[in-house]
Amino acid sequence: MDFDVGKVDLNCEKNNTAHKTNDISVNRLIVRRGQSFLVTFELHDLSRPTTDLLELMVETGPQPSEALGTRSVFGLPEGCGKGSSWKVKVHQGSVLLAGSITLDITSPADAPVGEYSLSVKTSATASVGSSLGKLLLLFNPWCKEDWVHLPEEEERQEYVMREQGLVYKGSDKYISSMAWNFGQFEDDIVDICLKLLDVNPKCLSDPAKDFSARCNPIYVSRVVSAMINANDDRGVLMGRWDGRYDGGMSPTHWNGSVEVLRRWLKNGSNPVKYGQCWVFAAVMCTVLRCLGIPCRVVSNFQSAHDTDKNLTIDDFFSDYGVRPKQSPDSVWNYHVWVEAWMRRPDLSAGSLYDGWQVVDPTPQEKSTDVYCCGPAPVKAILQGHVDLKYDVPFVFAEVNADRVTWMVFADGSKKNIFTDSVSVGQNISTKAVGSDKRVDITANYKHAEGTEKERAVYNQAVKRVNIPEENSNGIHDGKPGVSMKIVELTKPVSGKDIDLKLILNSNDSETRTLVINVNVQAMRYTGIPSSQIQTELKELKLLPNQDLTIPIHIPFSVYGEKMRESNSIKVSAVVTDNDKSEAVYITEKDLVPESPSLTIKAIGSELQYSEMTAEVVFENPLSEGLRNCFITVTGSGLLTEAMEVRMPLLKQGQRLRVKMPFTPYRPGPKKLVAGFNCDQFRDIKASCNVYIKPVTGVVPPLRR
């Protein structure tokens, strides 16, 4: 006789709360692997003991099979099911006499993540089972057996549960932060993340194998790295770095990941235009946190892009001060990637390479014929173990490449000026656990510059990638006859003139006649000039043991227009000694003008489902009107969608104060993010923290 299965209760709210997925939903079953969950269903025939036979089955993906781990049959009595790694037992609180049974089901800690169907057969003679419903299975950083297990609860809250964060930008001397709404628990984001996995090329070519491989965070993180960019698949974001963003949004427009991911889905899995490194990384952080892989956004300042894998970056200057483009190598003011936490048993029998792994979705170079990068163990980068997978040589060069400077002359010849083994890889930064402080994690990636250990690791890395010896020939590290430096006289602020001075000093006993070229260029953050701002040529005498000071004045009226799609200003000085034709000296300084002040604050009770107000203030700092102004405000858990206010003209000295009502719908630490745009200034950002206190016994209003 078969049991008749009646009403099913997946205990969504109770299970999801226990599995820390209730912020995603309490109306569908979302659980984490390696941790038990409860399923209750009615039994309409209790004429014999229910534990005689209950056979359950879970399946995920197309063509599920037990051999691939995408199908499992298990049941009661406890342990039946052909050696299945899924387990079930009758829950202690189950009341059989009341006509229902509650089962305690546990998935293995290495089960593939994704959507499963769950069914039950109540008789050995039954040909098909009765459906109990569907469940989503995620990675579990709380489970010691899961490869993504993160031991500290405070870190799990930061790297899995936190919906907001900070991304560091600027340059090594001008580090600024921008708030970012990851929004991994917004209603539809988990489905978008699974859709992203389903349309990846590996899944499209062999779906059964791909669904099986989703048990492995190494595989999943690599797939996500490829799918965030759209270079060779139906990825989320199209990158663009030339300053022309027709048909899309400037990368600096985005304040969070949710709008990007929703646009991708709405576009039929066609790429959203446009992204750059911090957008790629932040969106990837959202996807990994949503799937349950602990991760954080990391910024590397003076980040090398080594295209020929020789761990050396070639810089070229012309003898008149301009930086011509001679090499595909470059040094970016900053580059942003993701660190994901996982074990690496594929590299070591022990835990040698476990922990943080670099995964970088920005499409810089191909890895096994696909634009993706990582996971590369941070511990391997620190030790110079560049012969390990994945993409360790590329990341090692980003943080520790040597930089060789060449002078290019008018006849096309070039001269090796000097090498710099220090400047690449500065102030590697991430947000602190539990606060908005910046943490410098450079020591995780390399030993202190100037130490024997750092050079020993670099030399070992060079040997491991088989670099020819001649790469280090002709490099000059001797003390120069003329020392130079560029010094700020005023803090560079966008909207105001910039004043600096070039100071030269000679350690010779003779007077020197110098030809001095001072060049100012607007730079993209990738280290590529976008436009010429100004240049100045002087011939002056430098007396022995005396400073020669040359003022450098850069008016806003000259540089302002050229900075709209640029990150920084590079001021360089090239000095040629007329008395020593072989002597050429170079110095440069990167400036990142500070944006005009934008402020935002939250006014109100800071209670869930209670109306609050966001107040945004901006004052025009220019001696002219600002045209086509608009302010946007976003915040996961606070606003269901972005709010926007437009103003056609903000007069000279006029202050704009905007108040926008909102109703927070999710408790906990949240962040309001504001953006200001106009014709003269682009994407000025501000943020404020809000802690929303939960309320009980209140029916939540409907939201998307």
CA-only gyration radius of the chain, Å: 30
Does the annotation flag 400 for ligand binding? yes
Q: Tell me if residue 550 falls in helix, strand or coil.
A: strand
Angle at 356 between CA 351 and CA 358, to 5 degrees: 125
**Quick check: is 121 in a domain?**
yes
Same-domain status, 259 and 329: yes
Same-domain status, 407 and 282: yes
Say which residue, 414 or 394, is predicted with more confidence. 394
> Which H or E element spans position 106?
strand 100-106
- Of 319-323, 351-355, 432-436, 562-566, which gets the smallest average pLDDT? 319-323
User: Which letter does DSSP use for residue 160 in this model?
Assistant: I
Instruction: Count CB-CB contacts under 10 A for residue 388.
Output: 20
In angstroms, rounded to a whole number, what is the distance separating the alpha carbons of residues 401 and 258?
Answer: 35
Does the annotation flag 449 for ligand binding? yes
pLDDT higher than 70, residue 51? no
Q: How many CA atoms lie within 13 A of 357 on its CB side?
A: 33
- Identify the pLDDT of residue 162: 96
Same-domain status, 656 and 510: no
Say which residue, 266 or 545, is predicted with more confidence. 266
Same-domain status, 124 and 271: no
The reply to whether 360 belongs to the active site is yes
- Identify the pLDDT of residue 475: 39
Among the three residues 107, 138, 169, which one is the final residue of a domain in this structure? 138
Domain enclosing residue 665, as ranges: 598-692
Residue 41 has φ and ψ, to the nearest 5°, of: -150, 155
**Quick check: is 472 in a domain?**
no
SS (H, E, C) 414-478: EEEEEEECCCCCEEEEEECCCCCCEEECHHHHCCCCCCHHHHHHHHHHHHHCCCCHHHHCCCCCC
In angstroms, rounded to a whole number, what is the distance separating the alpha carbons of residues 89 and 79?
Answer: 9
How large is the average pLDDT for residues 662-680? 94
- Identify the pLDDT of residue 474: 36
Helices 452-464 & 392-400, crossing angle to 10 degrees? 150
> Which H or E element spans position 203?
helix 201-205
Both tokens of 392, joined, read 């360790």
- Of 270-274, 475-479, 634-638, 678-682, which gets the smallest average pLDDT? 475-479
Say which residue, 95 or 643, is predicted with more confidence. 643
Same-domain status, 363 and 427: yes
pLDDT higher than 90, residue 13? yes
**Quick check: is 332 in a domain?**
yes
Cα 279–chain centre separation: 7
In angstroms, rounded to a whole number, what is the distance separating the alpha carbons of residues 669 and 110?
Answer: 31
State pTM to two decimals: 0.91
Q: Euclidean distance between the first and final Cα of the chain, in Å?
A: 46
**Quick check: is 148 in a domain?**
no
Same-domain status, 584 and 610: no
The reply to whether 191 belongs to the active site is no
In angstroms, rounded to a whole number, what is the distance separating the alpha carbons of residues 421 and 449?
Answer: 8
pLDDT higher than 50, residue 472? no
Beta strand residue intervals within 107-148, DSSP E: 114-121, 130-138
Among the three residues 138, 163, 198, which one is the final residue of a domain in this structure? 138
- Cα torsion 247, 249, 251, 254 to 10°: value is -150
Same-domain status, 32 and 102: yes
Tell me the per-residue pLDDT of 170-226, one tens digit each, with 9 for 90 and over. Answer: 999 999 999 999 999 998 999 999 999 999 999 999 999 999 999 999 999 999 999
Tell me the per-residue pLDDT of 72-117, one tens digit each, with 9 for 90 and over. Answer: 999 887 655 555 689 999 988 776 656 788 999 999 999 999 999 9
**Quick check: is 438 in a domain?**
yes
Q: Among residues 360, 391, 577, 590, which one is catalytic? A: 360
pLDDT higher than 60, residue 325? no
> CATH number, domain at 126?
2.60.40.10
- Identify the pLDDT of residue 317: 75
Split at pLDDT 50, 70, 90, the class of 516 is very high
Same-domain status, 619 and 659: yes
Both tokens of 692, joined, read 């929303």
In angstroms, rounded to a whole number, what is the distance separating the alpha carbons of residues 388 and 578?
Answer: 50
In angstroms, rounded to a whole number, what is the distance separating the alpha carbons of residues 12 and 21?
Answer: 10
- Identify the pLDDT of residue 476: 43
Residue 548 has φ and ψ, to the nearest 5°, of: -115, 120
> Which H or E element spans position 397?
helix 392-400
Same-domain status, 539 and 421: no
How large is the average pLDDT for residues 551-575? 91
Q: Among residues 12, 277, 285, 678, which one is catalytic? A: 277
Beta strands at 529-542 and 512-523: parallel, antiparallel or unpaired? antiparallel
Cα 222–chain centre separation: 14
Q: What is the largest CA-CA distance in the chain?
A: 110
Instruction: Pick the closest to residue 71 from 79, 82, 222 (CA basis).
Output: 82
Matching residue, tokens 């750059």 = 276
Instruction: Count CB-CB contacts under 10 A for residue 486.
Output: 19
Residue 594 has φ and ψ, to the nearest 5°, of: -70, 140
Split at pLDDT 50, 70, 90, the class of 697 is low
What amino acid occupies position 583? A
Q: How many CA atoms lie within 13 A of 113 on its CB side?
A: 29
If phi > 0 it is left, if psi is from -120 to 50 it is alpha, else beta; for residue 434 that is: left
Instruction: Pick the closest to residue 26 from 39, 9, 8, 13 (CA basis).
Output: 13
The reply to whether 232 belongs to the active site is no
Q: What is the mean pLDDT of the chain?
A: 90
Q: Among residues 19, 149, 335, 385, which one is catalytic? A: 335
Same-domain status, 561 and 620: no
Percent of the chain with pLDDT strictly greater than 70? 91
Same-domain status, 332 and 386: yes
- Identify the pLDDT of residue 409: 76
Taken in order 46, 47, 50, 54, the sign of the CA dihedral is negative
Instruction: Pick the closest to residue 598 from 674, 700, 679, 495 (CA basis).
Output: 674
**Quick check: is 704 in a domain?**
no
Distances, alpha carbon 641 to alpha carbons 179, 647, 677, in Å: 17, 20, 18
Angle at 383 between CA 377 and CA 387, to 5 degrees: 65
Instruction: Pick the closest to residue 55 from 1, 6, 118, 102 (CA basis).
Output: 118
What amino acid occupies position 679? D
How large is the average pLDDT for residues 670-677? 94
Question: How many folded domains does the chain comprise?
Answer: 4
Tell me the per-residue pLDDT of 480-511, one tens digit each, with 9 for 90 and over. Answer: 678 899 999 989 999 999 999 999 998 778 88
What amino acid occupies position 527? G
Tell me the per-residue pLDDT of 412-453, one tens digit each, with 9 for 90 and over. Answer: 777 788 888 999 999 999 999 999 999 999 999 999 998 999
Question: With contact defined as beta carbons under 8 Å apart, do 617 and 603 qualify?
Answer: no
Same-domain status, 571 and 687: no
**Quick check: is 697 in a domain?**
no
> CATH number, domain at 375?
3.90.260.10
- Identify the pLDDT of residue 529: 87
**Quick check: is 445 in a domain?**
yes
Taken in order 136, 139, 140, 144, the sign of the CA dihedral is positive
Among the three residues 405, 436, 465, which one is the final residue of a domain in this structure? 465
